[in-house]
Structure 1
């Protein structure tokens, strides 16, 4: 039986007196899964990601991580949790412009304060190598390609061994070649046991998941489970997901 890493119970997110952006959502994110959130524009995909990660407050309901409710933690407690337990990758890399790729990754590791500087730097080097950007590690973000910068951002997200990696449209600003490289890295990380929760509108990204949640009008309408991604079965997998999405009028 799968272990629920993160649990949401009847969460609501509402701005002012308008319709709820998230409407009574209850779900679990399981350890070891590569969970995808899909849905039409305006469905609340990114809002759900931010609510589950504690980056945004919820109006009602609760969110728990490893059995501990986190939806009402004080900001300092939430910041500590995000540093130690969560990793984040966004469409834009948000790398610090005057730091090299290596420094961007290492600084995130220093914030944890659980390891020595040498240990952090050793892991930063190892991650940049794993992400295939070791040759660019001493360059500033502006001196690298979009794909290199995003792979460095993934290394930064992984520096503190996160229990859960959150990704919001991580290939949205990349061309096809760079997108595939980034998706290959996410697939490799998940194959090694990393739990991932990713928002995407891209079918080629969605097929990498082991579970897809379909969100519409702030509610989860359906979900699809699949075995881990294997490149040789990509066409059949894409067809399966396409047919499922068509049945939901995506």
Structure 2
């Protein structure tokens, strides 16, 4: 039986604009399991990123609770929550948000120092190991502006992994990349998951969705359906894509 890592109950998020209330999440109940590669899909405006931010507590919900490893995050004070996020969560976004005047290595190492997991020498070694694992060790002394979008995103994944997170959140991590760089980043995320890393990713890209073993489909702020898949194997790409495509068509995606 799979172990629940992150749990949301009754998650509701209301945005108010003037006299209008927009319910981006509508009493969502969701479990995210340990070691899964969970995908969140849905049409534009369905609430995909809002759900990811709610579950990571980067954004507070209007109503509902979020628990991580049995600890209710919605009860924590701001400093406690910030500490937990720094120690337990990693984040990768569509834009890398790398610090422009720091090298790739410095971007990764600084994140490690902020997380305070290990001694300075341990963090430095882990930063270099991660950059090598991500295939950007030759560019570690370059600034973000001096590398390709794919290299920058791989460095951003290294930065997200420096604190050895229990859960890696990814919000459209390939949305700004070309096809080649998209494949490289997806291969890295897949390899991390297959080594035991739990991943929760928002995407609208079918090529990215095939990497998951569980897909949640959102519509109008609610989880409309979900699809379970076996662990990813590259040789089954077309078969998986066909299965997901057929499922999405039934949901009128």
TM over 0.5: yes
Quote the offset at 1:73 in angstroms. 1.7
Structure 1 segments unaligned to the other structure (5+ residues)? none
Aligned: 1:232 with 2:231: no
Cα RMSD after superposing both structures: 0.7
**In 2, distance between residues paired with 1:112 and 1:160?**
6
Quote the offset at 1:15 in angstroms. 1.2
Residue equivalent to 2:27: 24
Aligned: 1:38 with 2:38: no
Asked if structure 1 preserves the Cα contact closer than 8 Å seen for 2:37 and 2:199, the reply is yes
Write out per-residue CA displacement over residues 65-105 of structure 1, whole angstroms, 9 at most, x where no aligned residue.
00000023221111101110000000000000000000000
The more displaced of 36-45 and 68-77 is 68-77
The number of aligned residues is: 250
Quote the offset at 1:18 in angstroms. 1.1
1:88 aligned to 91, 99, 107, which one? 91
**In 2, distance between residues paired with 1:164 and 1:19?**
29
Aligned: 1:113 with 2:113: no
Write out per-residue CA displacement over residues 226-246 of structure 1, whole angstroms, 9 at most, x where no aligned residue.
011111010000000000000
Q: Which of structure 1's runs of 4+ aligned residues deviate more than 4 A?
A: none
Asked if structure 1 preserves the Cα contact closer than 8 Å seen for 2:7 and 2:68, the reply is yes
**In 1, distance between residues paired with 2:148 and 2:76?**
38
2:139 aligned to 132, 136, 139, which one? 136
Q: 1:189-200 counterparts in 2 under 5 A?
A: 189-200=192-203
Quote the offset at 1:38 in angstroms. 0.1
Of Structure 1 and Structure 2, the greater strand share is in: 2
The normalised TM-score by structure 1 is: 0.99
**In 1, distance between residues paired with 2:215 and 2:74?**
24
The more displaced of 88-97 and 14-23 is 14-23
The normalised TM-score by structure 2 is: 0.98
DSSP 3-state at the match of 2:74:
coil
Asked if structure 1 preserves the Cα contact closer than 8 Å seen for 2:38 and 2:201, the reply is yes
Residue equivalent to 1:6: 6
